[in-house]
Amino acid sequence: MRTERIAAVLLAAGMSTRFGEEDKLMADLRGKPVAAHTLETIASMAFAELVAVVRPVEFAPILHRKLDRRGFDIVVNEHPEEGLSSSIRLAVEHVMDKRKVRGILICLADMPDVPQTHYNHICMAAEDIRSVVASTDGFSSSPPAFIGRKHFPELLALKGDQGARALLSHGIQIETIGNVLHDIDTPEDLGRPPVTPT
């Protein structure tokens, strides 16, 4: 499916409890904030909509400014403690009435090394509004992932921090090479060598 028919959804409202006091999305990674790597990659692509689900501005003022400058619609999650599902529900509600959007590409702000080519592979593997396309490291299914409009009611019923994992496990799996899908959970993760896409 062409990216022009897809809304890219950046999930950036997590509580970062394992990271400590600092906001992990603003932590420096190779000269810029962790979240900047992901949002810049997504913003450089021709999506129908750019949507970011974030914490209230008083908790993430710099991130709000960066997203606004790159043209994202900002959706505030007032209850991030309810887990990933609450952010997915808010994103789906935001794009529900935009008929040109045939599905969403769920991207995680704490996955800084996913290349544009991988996002494109996921979108191209999506055929229609029934499609579900997940990333995999060969072991488990995860975002980045495409979920077609037909599954929006299922996404609106999600609860907890598992996100759409059950749905993704039944979709097409796009395997990655190396540690492209690594996420930043702890300060130690910042020290990992950068991924070199092959």
Averaged confidence pLDDT in the chain: 90
Q: What is the pLDDT of residue 20?
A: 54
| Contact between 35 and 110 (Cβ < 8 Å) | yes
Averaged pLDDT, 44-59 = 96
Averaged pLDDT, 140-164 = 90
The candidate with the shortest Cα–Cα distance to 84, out of 113, 115, 110, is: 110
Least confident of 12-26, 56-70, 105-119: 12-26
Residue 83 domain-assigned (yes or no): yes
CA distance 137 to 135: 7
Least confident of 33-42, 74-83, 160-169: 160-169
| Contact between 182 and 140 (Cβ < 8 Å) | no
Residue 114 domain-assigned (yes or no): yes
Residue 22 domain-assigned (yes or no): yes
Domain around 53: 3-184
Reported confidence tier of residue 187, pLDDT bands at 50, 70, 90:
low
Residue 195 domain-assigned (yes or no): no
Averaged pLDDT, 41-46 = 97
Residue 89 domain-assigned (yes or no): yes
Residue 194 domain-assigned (yes or no): no
Q: Which residues pair with 64 in a beta bridge?
A: none
Q: Would the pLDDT of 3 be above 50? A: yes
Residue 161 domain-assigned (yes or no): yes
Averaged pLDDT, 139-161 = 92
Give the HSE-up count for residue 13: Cα atoms under 13 Å, Cβ half-sphere.
29
Q: Which residues contact 138 (CB under 8 A, 6 or more apart)?
A: 175
CA distance 192 to 123: 28
State percent of the chain over pLDDT 90: 70
Q: What is the pLDDT of residue 164?
A: 84
* pLDDT tens figures, 64-101: 999 999 999 999 999 988 888 999 999 999 999 999 99
Q: What is the pLDDT of residue 198?
A: 43
CA distance 176 to 157: 29
* pLDDT tens figures, 7-34: 999 999 976 655 656 788 988 898 999 9
Reported confidence tier of residue 163, pLDDT bands at 50, 70, 90:
low
CATH classification of the domain holding 70: 3.90.550.10
| Contact between 108 and 38 (Cβ < 8 Å) | yes
Q: How many domains does the chain have?
A: 1
Residue 132 domain-assigned (yes or no): yes
